[in-house]
Each structure stands twice: as C-alpha cells, then as structure tokens.
Structure 1
Amino acid sequence: MTVPLLLLVNQFIFMLGFYMVVPFLAVFMREDLALQSAAIGLVLGMRTFAQQGLFLVGGAFADKLGPRKLILLGCATRIVGFGILAFSFDFTTVLIGACLTGFAGALFSPAISSLAAKVGDDKEGRARFFAKLAVWGELGAVAGPFAGALLLGIGFKAMALGGAGVFAVAYLILHIRLPREVQAPRRAEDGPWWHVFRDRLFVLFTFAHSGFLLSYNQLYFALPVEITRSGGSETEMAPLFMLASLMIVTLQLPVTRIAQRLPWGFSLSAGFLLMALAFGTVAAFASHAPMGGLLKLAPATLMVILLIFGQMIVKPIAMDIVARMAGTRPTGVYYGALASAGGLTVLLGNVLIGPLLDGALKPGSAAPLPWLILAVVPAICALAIIPIAQAVTKRAGA
C-alpha cells in the first residue's frame, strides 16, 4: 500500500472511529451519568480545546520527532481516551477521557497534514490530494454514526470500546505500513518552531483562514437558530447534514479541479464570497415570518449549500498554500498554528456572536443583525486574501 493510499484509508478509519463515539457522548453524560447541561458543555468544550487549541503543540512535535511517531502516539492516546470513556462513572473520569481523545487529535492531525503536503505530487497536486482526504474523511464521518447506532442497544460502553478497537486496528496498520523515513530530519537553519509567528505573510493568511473556520463552524452554532426561527425542530437538522456530506462526497473533487484552473486568489476569494452570501441569504429572510411547508427550510438549506461550496473551494487550496509558505521548512508547525488560531477564533467569535443570535430565534427587526455581522467576516477575508495569495505565489515562485 502506497503512502497516499495509506493516508486516505487512515483518514476513513480515523473518522469512522471518532464518529462512532463522540456524537453519542452528550447523550451518555445526560442519560447514564445524569450530568447537568453546564457540566456536559464543559466536557465538550474542553475536548474541543484539547484538540484544536493544542494543534500547534502537535505540529511542533511532528516537525521535531517526525510525523510517524506523532501519528502513532495520537492513535495510542485516543485508544486510552476511548477506553477511559467506556468505563467512566462520573464527571471527572468522563472529562479525562474526553480531553485525551481531543489531545490525540492534536497529536496526529498536524502530522497527517504534513505528510499529505509531501505526498501530493505534481500530477495530483497537494490541493487535489487534500480534497481526496476530505472525501474519504466524510465517508468515515457518515459511516461512523451508523456503526455507533448498531451498538446503541448494548450501551455507550460498547460504542467506546468499539471506537478504541477501530483505532487499535489503525495503529497496527500504520505501525506496519507507514514508512519510518517519510520526511527529512529537521535542520538547524529551519530555526525554532515559533519562527512561524515571525512570518508576517503567514500570520496575515492565518487571520483570513480563521475567518473561514469561523464561518464554517456556523453550521453547528448558528444553523440551529435559523431552523428554530423557521419553526423547525432539531430532527430537521439531520437531512441538512446529510446534504452537506453528500455534497462533499460527490462534488469535492470536481470543485477542486475547477478551482485549481483559476488563479488562487480568485478561487479563495470566490469561496469566501459564497460563505458571505450564505449568511446574507438568511439575513434577507430573518425578519419575516417563516414560509409554509417545506419552504420554511429554504433559507437554512441555501445556507448549508453555499457554506459547503465555499468550504470545498477554500480548504484544499488553503492547505496547499500553507505548504508553499513553509517552503523547505517542516510543515507540521504551520498546519498546527493554522488550526490553533482557527480554534481560538471560533471560540471568541461564537462567544461574541452568541448573544446576538438569541435575537434571531424569532422573526423581527433585530433578527438580521447577527447574520449580517457573520456575512461581513468572510466578505472582508475575500478582499484580504487576494493580495495575500499573490504574495504567496510570488514568494514560492509559482
């Protein structure tokens, strides 16, 4: 099995194991452990922070120790985390298990991105390979909840042990098949890991990319608000997420091919503008009473479609640009810094926009405000990304 194929299969397995367990974690805490909403929110928030917030740490270690070691260590850590969750009996144990599962992602995700940046050859291209990773990962994300549901009757313990088993299989495959020497050793002239913050162009790009992550995160944070305004229920979110998965699986590669034929700055700007249009569309309906029948979900559906199209354009190209920015330096810390900055932006952005979204739960004059603010973020990024992408292309000599 070649390294590119190994990474694609690994992405599917990782997402399968993750989504077998994590979507059911909140239900387990509420029904089996009888935890309050505040405690559940803290556990889920700490899990996210342990992963997204510590990506920079994982990226720095991936550059120092090599991606292979970090991927295997991340696998082992997630096995332990799922094992603790399987036998959790109170808030403390479930918090420890959840944080370990998150930290595992912080260890292996930047390392996987670093390897993916290396194996994307001239024929396939980095952007196209990252697009393939997205497709294989989405297939795992779709299959995971179904696999977890099969174990639902047995209980959460079975789910968690099943997820640990999936990652154990991944560990064995990677330990045997992942080459030991897949990246050149770190050189003294590469400088310390914090050199990424001295790269002003990368910092500017990170700000713009963080706006993309904040916008994409609204599928989980702001979309339920629009569904509530339209008179829908939580059960109607499932078809919208299925639509998003279907779009990624069927359209990601064609969209990436088209985006690659255009100048990078134009493609990235177009992706950001689609995201701005997604929020602008909801803003146009927010002050009005919901439409009848299935049309009541039209604004939410358009939001999902436009956000996913924007995401499919921006993400693979952005990951390619990061590797071009790194040049001959190790890329792990670059991908780690990009993800950590995005995680912090999502956290702060959601805290700030949250109170305003409360006013969008019902139609009214104040309902469009949070959507318009959300639209401004990717619109600004669309303008900022053009000179940034031009500078990146000039630096890389592309």
Structure 2
Amino acid sequence: MQQANRPGTAEPPRRAGSRAFLTAMVVDTIGAGVWVTFSLLYFTEGRGIPLSAAGAALSTGSVAALVLGGLAAGSFADRVGPYPAAVLSCAIRALVFPAYLWADGPAQVVAIAFGVSLGDRLYWAAHGGLVAGITSDEQARRRFFALLNSLRTMGLGLGALAVAVGAALERWFGPAFWTAIPLLNAAGFAFAGVLFWRLGTRFPRRRGTTAVETGGYRGVFANRRFLAFTGATLALTLASVAFESILPIYLRWLGMPLWLPPVAYVLSCLAIPAFQPVALRWGSGRAPMRLMARSAVLIAAGLAGFLLLVGRDVPTAALLMVVLVLVFSLGEALFGAVAMVIVLDFAGGSAAGRYGACYQLVWGVAGAVGPGLNTVLFAVSGTAPWLVLAVALLAAALVYRHLDRTAPPGPDRSRGRAVAHPRRARAR
C-alpha cells in the first residue's frame, strides 16, 4: 500500500498531462458558474423575455434534466469512463450555448436550460472519477476538490460581475455584450472538451474497470451508510441555496440598505476560495466525516447568527454580517474540500459515476425545492428559514458523527479516512 504523504502536503498527480487536465477543469467549472448567474438576466435583458416566464422556463428545463438525466449520467460515466463522459458534457454545452442568440420565447429557454443542465449532470457525474484517476493520495484529492469548489465560487462571482458590466456598458456597446458571453462560453466548453478528449486518448480506460457488470444502482441504494450521508448533506445544500436566494429578501425585510446583500454575496465569493488553504490545513489528518460535522456546525452558526440582525442599526448589522458570512464561508470551504472524497471512498473505485450522480442529486433537489421551501418558511416568519435550517444542519452534524463512530474497521482507518463496508461500498 502506498505510503501516505505528510500532513499538509499533497502528492503530485501521478500522470503527465496534469496541467492540461487542470486547465480543462478550470474552464469547465468557471463556465458552469457563469451560466448560473448570467442566464436569467440574459433572457430578460438580452432577449426581452418577461422575468416570470424566463424563470419558470429555466426551472422547467433544469428539473427535466435532473429527472431524466440525473442518475442516467452516472451510469453513462461508469460505462464509458470519466473522460468520454466529460467530453460529451462539454460538447453538449458548446453546442447549446450559441442557441441563446435565437431564443425568443419560453419554449426555447426550456430547451436551452435542459441542454446546459444535462451537460452539467454529465460533468458532475464524471468529475469524481477524473480526480480519482489523476491522484492516488487522499490529501491530493482534498486539494483538487477544494480547488474545484473555489473555481465554482469564482465562476459565480465572474458571472455576477459580467452581469453588472453588461448592464453598465449596454448603452455604449448595445447588444454586442449579450452576444459575446454565450459565444465565449461555448468556445470555452469546446476548448475544455478537446483537452478532455486528448487526455482520454493518452490514458485510455483499462479493460475490466467498467461498471457494466455491477448491476446498476442496486449496490448504491443498498448502501445505507452512503444514503445516510447523502440525506444529511441535503441540509448543507439547502443552506447554500438559502444564502443565495432568501438572504437578500430577509435583509430587505429588516429594512437594510440595498447595498448590503450584494456586499455579503461578493464577500462570500472571495472568502470561500481564501479559506480553502485554511480548511485543508485544519482538516489534515482528520477523518472526513468529522470534518463534515464541523462544516455543518459552522454553517449552522452562520445562518442562526442572522437572527441577531433583528433590531440592529445599519453599521452594527453590516459588521455582524461580515463576521457571519466569514463563518458561513469557512464551513462551505471545509464542505467543498472533503464531501467528494467521502463519495469516492464509498464508491470504492468501481462506480464513481453512479455514486457521484446520486450524490449530486441533492444539489439538484436543493436547487429545485429550496427557493419554494424558503419562501413558505419566510411567509410564516422572517426568521423561520434560518431557525429551520440551523436545526437541520445540527441534525446533519449528528448523522456525520454517528457515521464516523460506527465506520467499520479497514486498512485506511488509521489514517482517518471514511471507509465504507467493502460489500456496500461497491455497486454490484
């Protein structure tokens, strides 16, 4: 068995071509982040579609892709390998993004959202296997996943910046800006797809490693520990959605100025990447399940702290908001560094696509039901969303701690890894 690296260090990628691999991941992840923040304003401002119609169409297309392609993407990634799945995901989005230029109604928006979301589903089903194939050390995997989480956050920030710049410069450049963004995104995904394809031809999938004979998702759904982990993680994904969707409404409900919500959002986009090295050093040598529990507690503290904003004056609220956002962001950074490491441990190397796709469903479900759930809770009381989410997060922390304490013994247990039972970790 390969000796683990010293705490705080990461093993270099085992294979040549890691720079091309990382470049492809950077382009793909940032492009996906830009889509999240850019799409709604593009269809409303750039194409003149009413806000309610554009929002409903985007949700419809995304949910359809989640239902029809969420689990199927995992099966596909396991059958053909992570590199071909990543190439197809990039090709789909490279072909779909230029269709933005001809979208003039909800039906076209639904089709575009379906295509982009399906490409995302494929990418996220494959990306665990991609990282597993380029690293063999757990600390290196943590660093890779932490980097990808930072890039995703940066992509969201770049999307928000692009929206702001486009709105400010539209009077001088007219529709050229709205035309350029989809085409640039399409070119970026095409470039990433070429890199993934070249890497896939250099490192072909070995025979005998496909999951054709594993029996589909039966092994995944029989793994009760994995299902418990995934169910608990839904609380963290709902918290992320709440921070992005209901926080601005909550601050306006408190009578806070219009500048405070975007300041909080920008601070989080900067803090999460900045905290990734801190999270990696803090988590070095510690069991991933324990780190997930700490992440849940930190995020719960950040959200529950929003209750303290009630009755505060603007300067006090702004200062308190900075502290709370930093606490929340530290929890998010820790979450991003270890969650997929745990998923790969459960997968055991034989069904990374299926386990990854099943895990990614919690993000899709949170994105689909989170805004509606938060709206209902907010109608009951302005503070209800934060109370409910904080309680759910603390319950998730207890689940993670239970999974850590009851983990079966294994060869990696001494290194603090979350090891699933060998019969349950592999899909049959």
Unmatched tracts of structure 2, length 5 or more: 1-14, 414-428
Alignment of 1:326-337 (within 5 A): 326-337=347-358
1:6 is aligned, of 17, 20, 24, to 20
* Residue 254 (structure 1) aligns with: 278
**Structure 2 contact 36–156 (Cα < 8 Å) conserved:** no
1:56 is aligned, of 52, 55, 71, to 71
CA drift of 1:47 comes to 4.4
**Structure 1 contact 56–339 (Cα < 8 Å) conserved:** no
Deviates more, 1:37-46 or 1:134-143: 134-143
CA drift of 1:347 comes to 3.1
* Residue 31 (structure 2) aligns with: 17
* Residue 176 (structure 1) aligns with: 198
* Residue 82 (structure 2) aligns with: 67
Letter in structure 2 aligned against 1:382? A
**1:18–1:327 distance in 2 versus 1, CA, 3 Å:** closer
* Separation in 2, partners of 1:93, 1:236: 35
**1:304–1:47 distance in 2 versus 1, CA, 3 Å:** farther
Letter in structure 1 aligned against 2:41? V
* Separation in 2, partners of 1:169, 1:187: 29
Alignment of 1:202-351 (within 5 A): 202-285=226-309, 288-292=310-314, 294-351=315-372
1:373 equivalenced with 2:388 (yes/no): yes
CA-atom RMSD, angstroms? 2.7
CA drift of 1:349 comes to 4.5
* Separation in 1, partners of 2:107, 2:319: 43
Deviates more, 1:46-55 or 1:381-390: 46-55
* Separation in 1, partners of 2:61, 2:258: 23
* Separation in 1, partners of 2:58, 2:236: 22
**1:130–1:396 distance in 2 versus 1, CA, 3 Å:** farther
**Structure 2 contact 271–329 (Cα < 8 Å) conserved:** yes
Deviates more, 1:331-340 or 1:341-350: 341-350
**1:207–1:156 distance in 2 versus 1, CA, 3 Å:** same
**Structure 2 contact 250–382 (Cα < 8 Å) conserved:** no
Deviates more, 1:6-15 or 1:330-339: 6-15
1:78 is aligned, of 88, 93, 101, to 93
CA drift of 1:273 comes to 0.7
**Structure 1 contact 62–332 (Cα < 8 Å) conserved:** yes
* Separation in 2, partners of 1:242, 1:59: 33
Letter in structure 1 aligned against 2:38? F
**Structure 1 contact 8–132 (Cα < 8 Å) conserved:** no
Moved over 6 A (4+): none
Letter in structure 2 aligned against 1:63? D
**Structure 1 contact 8–136 (Cα < 8 Å) conserved:** no
* Residue 362 (structure 1) aligns with: none
CA drift of 1:213 comes to 0.9
Count, aligned residues: 389
* Residue 181 (structure 2) aligns with: 159
1:26 equivalenced with 2:47 (yes/no): no
* Separation in 1, partners of 2:392, 2:318: 24
CA drift of 1:277 comes to 0.8
Query: Deviation per CA, 1:90-126, whole angstroms, max 9, x where unpaired?
Result: 2222221122111111112210122113323227432
**Structure 1 contact 216–307 (Cα < 8 Å) conserved:** no
1:133 is aligned, of 126, 148, 152, to 148
2:214 is aligned, of 176, 187, 190, to 190
* Separation in 1, partners of 2:328, 2:228: 22
Q: Percent identity?
A: 22
Alignment of 1:353-392 (within 5 A): 353-359=374-380, 366-392=381-407
**1:41–1:123 distance in 2 versus 1, CA, 3 Å:** closer
Secondary structure of the residue aligned to 2:350 is coil
Letter in structure 2 aligned against 1:8? L
**1:55–1:180 distance in 2 versus 1, CA, 3 Å:** farther
Deviates more, 1:64-73 or 1:167-176: 167-176
**Structure 2 contact 293–400 (Cα < 8 Å) conserved:** yes
**1:20–1:344 distance in 2 versus 1, CA, 3 Å:** closer
Secondary structure of the residue aligned to 2:291 is helix
**1:13–1:115 distance in 2 versus 1, CA, 3 Å:** same
Query: Deviation per CA, 1:281-303, whole angstroms, max 9, x where unpaired?
Result: 11233xx32413x3333454344
**Structure 1 contact 271–313 (Cα < 8 Å) conserved:** yes
CA drift of 1:254 comes to 2.6
**1:171–1:354 distance in 2 versus 1, CA, 3 Å:** same
**1:143–1:31 distance in 2 versus 1, CA, 3 Å:** closer
Query: Deviation per CA, 1:245-294, whole angstroms, max 9, x where unpaired?
Result: 22222220231221133333332211111111112111233xx32413x3
* Separation in 1, partners of 2:103, 2:363: 31
Please report the TM-score for the alignment, with normalisation by the length of structure 2: 0.82
Deviates more, 1:314-323 or 1:337-346: 337-346
* Separation in 2, partners of 1:341, 1:21: 19
* Separation in 1, partners of 2:281, 2:409: 22
